[in-house]
């Protein structure tokens, strides 16, 4: 029990600390099995996991991420722009491999038990698989970095993802030198984790 809390609090989003060393198949298998054990609405298991090691695919994605970084940077001015300049937003090329997690809303359908009123419940399920993967990887002393600086049609085209299936996350994965104690965005003065008390409501909002 204490171990689980320890892993939760030790987990970080990793960009700069990947070593690039390989992840052995057994370890990767355990991490993916943890992801696949996540709860899902109506037991729909709407996820797929694409393992990407190919250098040219990762380079193509990295180039796209740089373009999207520039799109975001163009929205910023002054100090904020300067701060963003210093923040690394991905470890696509430095990590050992990437795992792209997708969402298929036709899986187990059309009558998905528990999704009739909340279409997003399918997407929530995929995010739970991602969080399981992230925690399991942390327990295995691996780092994970979620990259969302991309356009979905670009990624779908790059990876041959069929129509109707949405890419939800590009996750960089691999051994790390260490995990930062303080999140990168906090260290760079972008944003801090606020106290839990700010988010608690008694009885009503």
**By the criterion CB under 6 A, which residues form the site for ligand FMN?**
12-13, 15, 89-90, 146-149, 183, 185
The DSSP secondary-structure symbol of 100 reads E
User: Which is nearer to ligand FMN, 86 or 116 (by Cβ)?
Assistant: 86
Q: Which two tokens stand for residue 95?
A: 């990590």
CA atoms within 13 A on the CB side of 86: 11
Nearer to ligand FMN, 13 or 48 (CB): 13
Question: Which residues make Cβ contacts (< 8 Å) with residue 77, sequence separation at least 6?
Answer: none
Least distance between ligand FMN and beta carbon 79 (Å): 18
Smaller CB separation from ligand FMN, 10 or 53: 10
CB neighbour list of residue 34: distance below 8 Å, 6 or more residues apart: 132, 133, 135, 136
Closer by beta carbon to ligand FMN, 42 or else 167: 167
Residue number, nearest CB to ligand FMN:
183
Q: How far is the CB of 202 from ligand FMN (least distance, A)?
A: 27
Nearest alpha-carbon partner for 194 in 202, 205, 204, 183: 183
Q: How far is the CB of 147 from ligand FMN (least distance, A)?
A: 4
Dist CA 87 CA 184 (whole Å): 8
62 vs 146 by CB, closer to ligand FMN = 146
Report in angstroms how near the CB of residue 160 gets to ligand FMN at its nearest.
22
- CB burial class (10 A; 0-12, 13-18, 19+) of residue 173? buried
Nearest distance from C-beta of residue 89 to ligand FMN, angstroms? 4
Give the whole-angstrom CA distance, residue 21 versus residue 18: 8
Angle at 198 between CA 197 and CA 202, to 5 degrees: 70
What's the min distance (Å) between Cβ of 21 and ligand FMN? 21
Q: Which is nearer to ligand FMN, 32 or 144 (CB)?
A: 144
């Amino acid at each position: 029990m204490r171990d689980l809390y320890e892993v939760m609090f030790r987990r970080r989003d990793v960009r700069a600390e990947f070593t690039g060393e390989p992840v052995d198949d057994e370890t990767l298998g355990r991490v993916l099995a943890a992801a696949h054990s996540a709860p899902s609405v109506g037991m729909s298991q709407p996820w797929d996991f694409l393992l990407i090691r190919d250098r040219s695919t990762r380079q193509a994605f990295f180039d796209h991420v740089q373009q999207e970084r520039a799109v975001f940077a163009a929205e910023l001015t002054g100090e904020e722009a300067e701060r963003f300049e210093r923040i690394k937003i991905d470890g696509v090329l430095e990590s050992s491999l990437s795992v792209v997690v997708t969402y298929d809303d036709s899986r187990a359908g059309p009558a998905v038990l528990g999704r009739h009123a909340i279409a997003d419940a399918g997407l929530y399920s995929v995010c739970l698989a991602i969080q399981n993967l992230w925690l399991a990887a942390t327990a295995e002393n691996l780092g994970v970095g979620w990259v969302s600086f991309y356009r979905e049609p670009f990624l779908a085209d790059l990876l041959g993802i069929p129509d109707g299936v949405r890419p939800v996350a590009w996750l960089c994965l691999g051994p790390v030198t260490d995990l930062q104690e303080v999140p990168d965005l906090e260290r760079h003065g972008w944003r801090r984790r606020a106290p839990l008390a700010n988010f608690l409501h008694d009885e009503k909002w």
